[in-house]
Amino acid sequence: GFGELAKSFNAMAVSLKEQCNKLQETERLAVVGELAAGMAHEIKNPMAGIKVSMEVLCQDSPLGQEDKEVLCRVINEIDRITALLKGLLNYARPPKPEMVSLDVNQLLESTIKSAKYALQNQKNKPKDPERQLKFVKDFNQNLPQIVADPGQLQQIFLNLILNAVDAISSITDRQGVITIQTTRPSDEFVEISIADNGKGIESVSLEKIFNPFFTTKPQGTGLGLAITKRLIEQYNGGRIVVANNPDGNGVTFTITLPVHQIESSLDVGTTKKL
């Protein structure tokens, strides 16, 4: 009767409100995208000019070593500003994904190799995380191939793995472990989880972790996870969640990706092996 009708109206109202919020968010991002593009263009060119001038001064001038070091610091800061602009653009206007059929397990294997390579080539500090770091792979071997952009997925996985490395770099009482798991919760989706056994994240920070410009790192821009979330949500039904681990050690990021895309320009015969 009227009770059921009222319930239906309430459910419809909630659904409409969610759709409106999503639409407003999309419109806001479109505006931010245009502003970011204009701003990046206007700032990028003078920055490039300043950087070239600094490099010339650094190399060809008779300045003392201390003064040259100051110039080198300025060049590094210019690089940071340029990277921040690039990140802002990637967040506001993510590049259109180039869809191919791919094997998630293979992509994760190659991403783990890239992460290890990146760690080995960092300037080794006394507390080099690689020395106390272990990767545990728990892959479902019956995963279907999915339709996605391999470059973007690799960027997503690498970002989460390197974040996990950061999270366990300060652990001294136990071996740092990063566990990467793939599962198939249903025929339509695959799930990828990346867990660390670090200190975990305070619940206040956990709620804001995907917000643009929110960061817990001294040198962070707060755009890495925001971009990650935007890229994942481009896929129909794609999502990412984060939670502290039940044992109190570390966090787990869980990504859900659809096996198929509703609209795809995929050439069915094409499979990109990575």
Q: What is the pTM of this model?
A: 0.68
Q: What pLDDT shows up at residue 269?
A: 41
CA angle at 108 for the pair 179 and 172, rounded to the nearest 5°: 30
Q: What pLDDT shows up at residue 222?
A: 78
Alpha carbon of 127 to those of 124, 175, 197, 221: distances in Å? 8, 12, 17, 24
Q: Which of 48-62, 85-99, 134-148, 220-234 shows the lowest per-residue confidence on average (mean pLDDT)?
A: 85-99
- Read off the pLDDT of residues 180-204 as tens digits, 9 standing for 90 and up: 999 999 999 999 999 999 988 888 8
Whether 239 shows a pLDDT value over 90: the answer reads yes
CA angle at 248 for the pair 246 and 253, rounded to the nearest 5°: 65
Average pLDDT over residues 75-83: 84
Average pLDDT over residues 162-180: 89
Q: What pLDDT shows up at residue 156?
A: 93
- Copy the structure tokens of residue 67: 């003064």
Q: Pairing relation of β-strands 189-196 and 239-244? A: unpaired
Which of 13-27, 49-63, 190-204 shows the highest mean pLDDT? 190-204
- Exposure class string for 71-80: b at 16+ Cβ within 10 A, else e: beeebeebee
- Copy the structure tokens of residue 164: 């996990």
For residue 116, give the amino acid letter: K
pLDDT band at 232 (very low <50, low <70, confident <90, very high): very high
Percent over 90 (pLDDT), the chain: 32
Q: What pLDDT shows up at residue 241?
A: 96
Q: What pLDDT shows up at residue 32?
A: 66
pLDDT band at 219 (very low <50, low <70, confident <90, very high): low
Query: Rounded to an integer, what distance in angstroms lies between the CA atom of residue 139 and that of residue 109?
Result: 10
> Which of the two residues, 262 and 131, has the higher pLDDT score?
262
Contact 193, 181 (CB under 8 A): yes
